[in-house]
Amino acid sequence: MSPTELWQAALAQLQLNISSANFITWFKNTEIISFENGKVVISVPNSFVKEWLEQKYNKMVFRALHSLDEKIKEIKYVINKPNLKVINKNNYYDNYNDNLNRLKFTEFFVNKETNLNNRYGFDNFVVGPFNELAHAAALAVSKNPGEVYNPLFIYGGVGLGKTHLIQATGNEIVKNFSDKKVKYVSTEKFVSGVISAIKNQEMESFKERYRRIDVLILDDVQFLAGKEKTQEEFFHIFNALYEKNKQIIISSDRPPKTIPALTERLRSRFEGGMLTDISFPDFETRIAILKMKAGEQQLILQDDVLEYIAKNIQQNIRELEGTVNQLVAYQKLQNKNPDIDVAKNLLKKAALIKNRATTPSKIIQTVAHFYDLKEKDLLTLSRRKEIVKPRQVAMYLLRSELNCSFPFIGRKFNGKDHTTAIYSFEKIHKEIQENERLADEILSIKQRVYEG
């Protein structure tokens, strides 16, 4: 395997572990420039990236590379000098440019106007009994936006294709109606847009921009929960669009009636159009999805391998996809098709990682340590600023990592009320969208929780 292939395989793994925004930021324009005596040298575009990779991602990078080749013992990052490649040029680099162009993040792009990612289409969306109604509704909307189902509200659990389907609808509308202004926006982005419009007193122009849209796609609308001011602004935008027969497409992880703290009038708007869910894919559909994902990457999987994976991953299409990516990496590395044993090992490892799942006390201990506090201080009712924040972070992690119930979390912290736990969770959840430093802190804490 060439260094380029090695790096591609490692990137495939890293991509599964970090957000795509971070992945692109830190790993774009990186490459392995040499691999000798267990030492891998990775070139990076600038000193900023170098520092980040060394400080934040080194462990992850090492683990990815080491899992691909146990001989790898050391990683060094160097800043890419234009002539470095020439100096190091050897037979490894024959296909260098070719391979680089095939790297995943260069294949897809997000349109700046619409925010749509061209990787999501109807042609690569597998339809089965679990999603056929949602698919049919979305397809109908893409042919007659604003005329058939308005709003179109699609709900379902994580990793089951909501974002894919609503983006595919947007992409299809752009294709069919070149004059229509389509806009995809995550609810988190919308919320922070409202917040900054208020702060800068630009609410009118903010709303005006939205009113000019022909097709508005709002993803993960459950995040409007409890945000009254944003709901109010959205309500007005919704009405303005709706009255002009503009299409509104919404996704959520649950139906409108179970989104907490959603104003009644917005709830009834959401329920006024087409409400459809995506449930879990059945066995045959999971096989079809695996085949398609493998086929996209020119990997042929034997029936027993497909069946084994489909039997063991039932609830999340993203995980099916991740498994295929790892099998592709294996195929590139070993130059042979992965068999059932390889698949078994892979899933066993994945299960181990999951089950290595942490415990509440480990999280509390790690957070206390991270912020240089005593555990018992973290658990007290103190309102001191230097304690309040870490305590919120701890509560947030108990929920996000272990899915602890809010009453349980409240009890852990000296019998606090469950509403405090909910408040803390939502506060941190929101803050990490806007505050990169906090997001970063939480990432490091998580790494310690799982690695320590």
Site for Mg ion in 158-217 (CB under 5 A): 163
Which of 187, 156, 152 has the alpha carbon at shortest distance from 172? 152
What binding mask, one character per residue, do residues 299-338 give for ligand ADP by CB under 6 A, x or -? ------------------xx--x-----------------
Q: What angle do CA 40, 43, 47 make, to 5 degrees?
A: 125
Token readout for 446 is 């998580």
Answer yes or no whether residue 161 interacts with ligand ADP by CB under 6 A: yes
Instruction: Tell me how far CA of residue 90 lies from CA of 5, 76, 450, in angstroms.
Output: 15, 19, 39
Nearer to Mg ion, 15 or 163 (CB): 163
Cα-based distances in Å from 400 to 19, 25, 140, 426: 15, 24, 36, 11
Nearest-angstrom CA–CA distance, 36 and 69: 12
Residue 393 contact among Mg ion, ligand ADP, none, beta carbon within 5 to 8 Å by kind: none
Task: Give which of 252, 276, 172, 254 is closest to 215, Cα–Cα.
Answer: 172
**Binding at 396: pick from ligand ADP, Mg ion, none (beta carbon under 5-8 Å per type):** none
- Residue 160 interacting partner from Mg ion, ligand ADP, none (CB closer than 5 to 8 Å by kind): ligand ADP
Residue whose entry in the numeric block shows the structure tokens 């506060």: 427
Binding span for ligand ADP by CB under 6 A among 123-131, 136-144, 296-304, 436-444: 123-131
Which of 164, 183, 286, 416 contacts ligand ADP by CB under 6 A?
A: 164
Rounded-to-integer distance, Cα 162 and Cα 276, Å: 11
* Cα R_g (the chain), whole angstroms: 24
> Should residue 126 be labelled a site residue for ligand ADP when binding is judged by CB under 6 A?
yes
Q: By CB under 6 A, is residue 15 in contact with ligand ADP?
A: no
Choosing from 5, 34, 65, 162, the residue that interacts with ligand ADP (CB under 6 A) is 162
As beta bridge partners, residue 24 has none
Calculate the CA 388 to chain-centre distance: 28
Q: Which is nearer to ligand ADP, 163 or 365 (CB)?
A: 163
Nearer to Mg ion among residue 69 and residue 220 (C-beta):
220
- Contact set with ligand ADP (CB under 6 A): 124-126, 131, 156, 158-164, 289, 317-318, 321
- Contact set with Mg ion (CB under 5 A): 163
